[in-house]
């Protein structure tokens, strides 16, 4: 089917937009849904027709993922770091990355390096009395963390900063950013070769852990994805009947607009979410899963516009909570949930920022499950704004602004200092 184009000179029905959280959420939801339906209808197609196009595209991907699994092949693309460094990644590997939207980088760091970092973080926290000072999770969104932390609200260890500002990290981030279209409409939406050094936490999950995991969700936003002007432009092809032209890798209008604040929000624009493994982890030990279909975002954005969803409901999405993906509204997508293969300390794991993900439950976990969260967050207006607060947090050892104000490291004398930054770190913080 060829995509209809909006005839030149046709003006689309306008969309109401809210640059801050609307005072009356149900009313705003009713308004935006009616306006989106009207705009799609103006293309000469119904919402049902547009959604059916998306559904067929997703069905083909779900079938391909099932077939890949049946053949015993890894659904998650795997690329050796050495090939990224040498520029010898094959066209076939690139295609797989683009199609699945996720990636394992094998040997991103030498195993001994990752294991040493893991030990360094333990030493750093123990030396500074973290476990005595720890007062419990300030951000237990999922209610799954016990009295001993699994997610450590630690940001400024030498180990984390060494990884963040390393050449190896910069090279992989640039490789991943290059999957996106970063220039269009005469605008350079982000700088693919410059990361903005987004400080996040670490996770250390000990052997023997029982964990309920985390449900399927995504992290790019909540109601702002439908309600702010910038996101309405970013998802323009979903909302004007030209759904065939929707490209999940187009960064246009995604790197400058506002976001609705909330406990789960990430101020940065991330091309990929990611973490670096600090221990070996087997695929069946409560690991990360994704729905490896970047275009599933089209399904998620359009599904609430179908008539079976109440007018004041966005399919369960609301502010201040993660964007849920459920059997009720998204059964087709959940058929594709796929876990990572076994990873070793030093491998890194990446997934497109819009992609659905979850963490599987585990009982009596074998081995450690330790990771450093480091995304690919290229330099762009949004990330430049956030970097102001990151610079301040580094100076004082505070928890970064996106995270609960726990500030454990402020009095720790051996935390990473601004004077320890290399050129990559300085660029990442806007200090050059
Ligand atoms: Fe998440």
**Residues linked to residue 102 through DSSP beta bridges, in sequence order:** 351
User: Domain spans of the chain?
Assistant: 25-428
What confidence tens digit (pLDDT) does each residue in 82-99 have? 999 999 999 999 999 999
What confidence tens digit (pLDDT) does each residue in 303-342 have? 999 999 999 999 999 999 999 999 999 999 999 999 999 9
Q: How far is CA 166 from CA 54, 324, 414, 423, in A?
A: 40, 34, 20, 10
What is the predicted pLDDT for the residue at 69? 96
Tell me how far the alpha carbon of residue 78 lies from the centroid of ligand 1, in angstroms.
Answer: 21
Q: Which single residue is written with the structure tokens 């990290």? A: 169
What confidence tens digit (pLDDT) does each residue in 198-210 have? 999 999 999 999 9
Task: Judge contact between 22 and 314, C-beta under 8 A.
Answer: no
Tell me how far the alpha carbon of residue 186 lies from the centroid of ligand 1, in angstroms.
Answer: 32
Tell me how far the alpha carbon of residue 195 lies from the centroid of ligand 1, in angstroms.
Answer: 20
Mean pLDDT of the chain: 94
- pLDDT over 70 at 1, yes or no: no
- pLDDT over 80 at 236, yes or no: yes
Name, in order, each residue with C-beta under 8 angstroms of 41's C-beta and a sequence gap of 6 or more.
Answer: 47, 241
Q: Rounded CA gap, 169 and 200, in Å?
A: 15
Tell me how far the alpha carbon of residue 270 lies from the centroid of ligand 1, in angstroms.
Answer: 12
Nearest to 253 by CA among 194, 184, 178, 317: 184
**Three-state DSSP state, 173:** helix
Tell me how far the alpha carbon of residue 40 lies from the centroid of ligand 1, in angstroms.
Answer: 30
- Tokens encoding 113: 């390096």
Quickly count: other Cβ atoms within 10 Å of residue 95's Cβ: 11
Q: What angle do CA 198, 199, 205 make, to 5 degrees?
A: 125
- Tokens encoding 179: 């999957």
Name, in order, each residue with C-beta under 8 angstroms of 357's C-beta and a sequence gap of 6 or more.
Answer: 216, 217, 218, 273, 288, 289, 290, 291, 351
What confidence tens digit (pLDDT) does each residue in 101-112 have? 999 999 999 999
Q: How far is CA 152 from CA 28, 122, 135, 186, 343, in A?
A: 37, 10, 11, 42, 21
**Three-state DSSP state, 145:** coil
Q: Rounded CA gap, 29 and 292, in Å?
A: 29
Count, residues in the chain: 432
Question: At 264, is the pLDDT very low, low, confident or very high (cuts 50, 70, 90)?
Answer: confident
Mean pLDDT of 141-147: 46
Tell me how far the alpha carbon of residue 216 lies from the centroid of ligand 1, in angstroms.
Answer: 8
- pLDDT over 80 at 79, yes or no: yes
Tell me how far the alpha carbon of residue 217 lies from the centroid of ligand 1, in angstroms.
Answer: 6
- pLDDT over 90 at 346, yes or no: yes
Q: Rounded CA gap, 222 and 259, in Å?
A: 9
- Tokens encoding 199: 């400080």
Tell me how far the alpha carbon of residue 274 lies from the centroid of ligand 1, in angstroms.
Answer: 10
Nearest to 68 by CA among 342, 282, 336, 287: 336
Q: Rounded CA gap, 337 and 333, in Å?
A: 7
Question: At 2, is the pLDDT very low, low, confident or very high (cuts 50, 70, 90)?
Answer: very low
pTM of the model: 0.95
Q: Rounded CA gap, 234 and 335, in Å?
A: 27
Quickly count: other Cβ atoms within 10 Å of residue 72's Cβ: 6
Tell me how far the alpha carbon of residue 43 lies from the centroid of ligand 1, in angstroms.
Answer: 35
Q: Which single residue is written with the structure tokens 């975002």? A: 297
Mean pLDDT of 225-237: 98
Task: Judge contact between 183 and 150, C-beta under 8 A.
Answer: no
Question: At 135, is the pLDDT very low, low, confident or very high (cuts 50, 70, 90)?
Answer: confident
Nearest to 403 by CA among 271, 277, 276, 267: 267
The residue with greater pLDDT, 135 or 167, is 167
β-strands 102-106, 78-80 pairing: parallel
- Tokens encoding 123: 């030493």
Tell me how far the alpha carbon of residue 114 lies from the centroid of ligand 1, in angstroms.
Answer: 23
Percent residues over pLDDT 70 in the chain: 95
- pLDDT over 90 at 35, yes or no: yes
Question: At 4, is the pLDDT very low, low, confident or very high (cuts 50, 70, 90)?
Answer: very low
Name, in order, each residue with C-beta under 8 angstroms of 327's C-beta and a sequence gap of 6 or more.
Answer: 334
What confidence tens digit (pLDDT) does each residue in 367-396 have? 999 999 999 999 999 999 999 999 999 999
Percent residues over pLDDT 90 in the chain: 91
Tell me how far the alpha carbon of residue 423 lies from the centroid of ligand 1, in angstroms.
Answer: 30
Mean pLDDT of 193-200: 98
Quickly count: other Cβ atoms within 10 Å of residue 310's Cβ: 13
The residue with greater pLDDT, 13 or 300, is 300
DSSP 78-105: EEEHHHHHHT---HHHHHHHHHH-EEEE
Tell me how far the alpha carbon of residue 142 lies from the centroid of ligand 1, in angstroms.
Answer: 11
CATH architecture of the domain with range 25-428: Sandwich (2.60)
Helices (H) and strands (E) in the chain, counts: 15, 16
Tell me how far the alpha carbon of residue 405 lies from the centroid of ligand 1, in angstroms.
Answer: 20
What is the predicted pLDDT for the residue at 12? 83
* Angle between helix 47-70 and 25-41 (nearest 10): 90
Q: Rounded CA gap, 154 and 118, in Å?
A: 13
What is the predicted pLDDT for the residue at 143? 44
**Residues linked to residue 79 through DSSP beta bridges, in sequence order:** 105
Task: Judge contact between 238 and 298, C-beta under 8 A.
Answer: yes
Torsion from C-alpha of 292, 297, 298, 302, nearest 10 degrees: 130
What is the predicted pLDDT for the residue at 136? 76
Nearest to 429 by CA among 375, 392, 376: 392
């Amino acid at each position: 089917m060829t995509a209809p184009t909006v005839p030149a000179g046709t003006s689309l029905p306008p969309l109401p937009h809210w640059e801050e959280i609307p005072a009356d959420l149900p009313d705003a939801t009713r308004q935006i849904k009616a306006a989106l339906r009207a705009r799609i209808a103006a293309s000469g197609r119904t919402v049902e027709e547009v959604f059916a196009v998306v559904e067929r595209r997703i069905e083909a991907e779900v079938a391909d993922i099932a077939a890949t699994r049946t053949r015993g092949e890894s659904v998650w693309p795997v690329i050796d770091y050495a090939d990224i460094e040498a520029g010898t990644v094959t066209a076939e590997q690139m295609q797989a990355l683009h199609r699945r939207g996720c990636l394992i980088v094998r040997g991103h760091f030498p195993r001994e390096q990752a294991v040493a970092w893991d030990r360094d973080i333990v030493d750093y926290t123990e030396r500074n009395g973290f476990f005595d000072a720890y007062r419990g999770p300030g951000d237990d969104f999922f209610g799954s963390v016990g009295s001993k932390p699994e997610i450590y609200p630690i940001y400024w260890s030498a180990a984390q900063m060494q990884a963040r500002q390393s050449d190896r990290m910069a090279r992989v981030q640039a490789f991943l950013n290059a999957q996106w279209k970063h220039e269009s409409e005469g605008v350079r939406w982000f700088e693919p070769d410059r990361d903005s050094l987004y400080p996040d936490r670490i996770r250390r999950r000990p052997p023997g852990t029982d964990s309920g995991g985390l449900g399927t969700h995504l992290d790019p936003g909540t109601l702002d994805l439908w309600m702010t002007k910038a996101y309405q432009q970013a998802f323009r092809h979903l909302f004007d009947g030209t759904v065939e032209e929707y490209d999940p890798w187009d960064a246009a209008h995604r790197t400058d607009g506002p976001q609705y604040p909330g406990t789960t929000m990430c101020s940065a624009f991330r091309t990929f979410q990611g973490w670096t493994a600090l221990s070996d982890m087997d695929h069946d030990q409560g690991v990360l899963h994704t729905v490896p279909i970047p275009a599933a975002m089209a399904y998620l954005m359009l599904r609430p516009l179908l008539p079976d969803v109440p007018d004041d409901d966005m399919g369960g999405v609301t502010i201040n909570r993660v964007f849920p993906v459920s059997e009720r509204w998204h059964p087709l997508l959940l058929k594709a949930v796929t876990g990572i293969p076994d990873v070793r300390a030093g491998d890194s794991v990446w997934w497109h920022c819009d992609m659905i993900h979850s963490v599987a439950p585990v009982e009596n976990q074998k081995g450690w499950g330790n990771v450093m969260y480091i995304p690919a967050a290229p330099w762009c207006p949004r990330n430049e704004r956030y970097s102001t607060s990151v610079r301040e947090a580094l100076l004082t050892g505070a928890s970064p602004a996106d995270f609960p104000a726990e500030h454990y490291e402020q009095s720790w004398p051996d935390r990473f200092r601004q004077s320890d930054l290399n050129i990559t770190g300085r660029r990442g913080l806007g200090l050059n």
